[in-house]
């Protein structure tokens, strides 16, 4: 089809507006519609294909998998890359790398200061301690920073979404103590895979892709006067470490996992062997010449 024919049709649609509406919505939606019209025409998308795609999105929405789809199609990582670029342009450098939040955060986890235990004591798997400091741009520890942590269990499932787990299992909020340190005891997580019978997996199959994530632990780190950090650390040695279906693995987010036993475990009430991760989070100062790093989205 002639692009002029497409634009004439789009004009007719836009001119059918009877009131002002929202300028930004009009700008974005009209652009997407135009791009899709062109795609349909260029690729000769059939009516059957169009309706099947529409139905797919409806079903993906109904099953609550749109957030998962956004991660799997790379949108969420793309938004990270854009925010990184905006920061670089504004001369902002340093700090712990950000990486995607994912769709499985739950607000309202129990809060404590200094230390938290994330598991309830009968979680199968290898005992884990992670500890470190929250640092400011000047390299000084930040006291009272909030470290929100959440991760999957030994089956790769997350509490709240997996109703077999207790409320807030493997989810806590930890305030750094007067030395800016945090620590938590938990169980080493296993990688996540998208629901095998779900809408995301259905599309991944058609794209010739897998739906696996390497084992990881999520964090929000926030403190007054600092840009909020959304990030994850990955567990080294995972076969999917650099083959994440959500593209979230980054240099600087794969700390060493040390095998420890004895005195090191004492402060955490651990007698035998355990895995230890030492990791400091570095925050950068709040600035007004950069888009906010605080993302608003509907969360559980
Ligand atoms: C997850 O645990 C996750 O972190 C992402 C990004 C997508 C699905 C499940
Ligand atoms: Fe996750």
Name the catalytic one among 158, 171, 227, 240. 158
pLDDT of residue 29: 97
Atom of ligand 1 nearest to the CA of 76: 6
Alpha carbon of 143 to ligand 2 centroid (Å): 27
Pull the structure tokens for residue 134.
């929250």
At which residue do the structure tokens 């470290």 appear?
147
pLDDT of residue 260: 97
pLDDT of residue 186: 98
Whether the CB-CB separation of 232 and 213 falls below 8 Å is answered with no
Active site residue 82: no
| 130 within ligand 1 shell (Cβ under 6 A) | no
Are β-strands 115-117 and 274-278 bridged in parallel, bridged antiparallel, or unpaired?
A: unpaired
pLDDT tens-digit series, residues 89-121: 999 999 999 999 999 999 999 999 999 999 999
Helix, strand, coil % (nearest 5) of the chain? 30, 20, 50
Mean of pLDDT values over 283-290? 94
pLDDT tens-digit series, residues 181-235: 999 999 999 999 999 999 999 999 999 999 999 999 999 999 999 999 999 999 9
Whether the CB-CB separation of 72 and 211 falls below 8 Å is answered with yes
pLDDT above 70 covers what percent of the chain? 100
Please state, as a whole number, how many other Cβ atoms lie within 10 Å of the Cβ of residue 94: 10
Residue 257: pLDDT band (50, 70, 90) is very high
Pull the structure tokens for residue 83.
């925010």
Apex 266 CA angle, 260 and 269, nearest 5: 105
Could you write out the DSSP letters of every residue in 138-156? TS-B-TT-EEEEEE--TTS
| 192 within ligand 1 shell (Cβ under 6 A) | yes
Active site residue 105: no
Atom of ligand 1 nearest to the CA of 158: 2
How far is CA 160 from each of CA 104, 106, 108, 170, 212, rounded to the nearest angstrom? 9, 8, 12, 10, 20
User: What H or E segment, with its residue span, contains residue 217?
Assistant: strand 216-222
Mean of pLDDT values over 228-244? 98
Domains of the chain: 3-45 (no CATH), 70-282 (2.60.130.10)
pLDDT of residue 38: 98
Mean of pLDDT values over 77-86? 98
pLDDT of residue 77: 98
Residue nearest to atom 7 of ligand 1 (CA): 102
Residue 293: pLDDT band (50, 70, 90) is very high
Alpha carbon of 39 to ligand 1 centroid (Å): 30
Whether the CB-CB separation of 289 and 90 falls below 8 Å is answered with yes
Whether the CB-CB separation of 278 and 264 falls below 8 Å is answered with no
pLDDT of residue 171: 98
pLDDT tens-digit series, residues 138-179: 999 999 999 999 999 999 999 999 999 999 999 999 999 999
Mean of pLDDT values over 48-60? 98
Active site residue 240: no
> Of 273, 256, 254, whose CA–CA distance to 264 is shortest?
273
Torsion of CA 135, 139, 143, 149, to 10 degrees: 10
3-state secondary structure of 171: strand
Residue 238: pLDDT band (50, 70, 90) is very high
* Beta-carbon contacts of residue 251 (< 8 Å; ≥ 6 apart): 97
């Amino acid at each position: 089809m002639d692009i002029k024919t497409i634009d004439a049709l789009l004009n007719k649609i836009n001119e059918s507006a009877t009131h002002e509406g929202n300028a930004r919505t009009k700008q974005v939606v009209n652009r997407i519609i135009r791009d899709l019209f062109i795609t349909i025409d260029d690729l000769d998308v059939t009516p059957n294909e169009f309706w099947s795609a529409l139905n797919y999105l409806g079903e993906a929405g109904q099953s609550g998998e749109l957030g998962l789809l956004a991660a799997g199609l790379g949108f969420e990582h793309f938004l990270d890359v854009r925010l990184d670029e905006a920061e670089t342009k504004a001369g902002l450098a340093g700090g712990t790398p950000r990486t995607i939040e994912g769709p499985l955060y739950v607000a309202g986890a129990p809060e404590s200061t200094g230390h938290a235990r994330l598991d309830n004591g009968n979680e199968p798997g290898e005992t884990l301690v992670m500890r470190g400091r929250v640092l400011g741009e000047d390299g000084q520890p930040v006291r009272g920073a909030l470290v929100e942590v959440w991760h999957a269990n030994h089956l790769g499932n997350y509490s709240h979404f997996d109703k077999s787990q207790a409320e807030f299992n493997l989810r806590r909020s930890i305030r750094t103590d007067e030395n800016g340190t945090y620590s938590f005891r938990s169980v080493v997580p296993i990688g996540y895979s998208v629901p095998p019978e779900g809408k995301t997996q259905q599309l991944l199959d058609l794209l010739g892709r897998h739906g696996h994530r390497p084992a990881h632990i999520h964090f929000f780190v926030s403190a007054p006067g600092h840009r909020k950090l959304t990030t994850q650390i990955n567990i080294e040695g995972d076969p999917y470490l650099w083959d994440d279906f959500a593209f979230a693995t980054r240099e600087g987010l794969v700390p060493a996992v040390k095998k420890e036993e004895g005195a090191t475990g004492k402060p955490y009430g651990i007698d035998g062997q355990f895995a230890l991760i030492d990791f400091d989070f570095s925050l950068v100062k709040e600035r007004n010449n950069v888009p906010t790093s605080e993302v608003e989205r509907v969360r559980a």
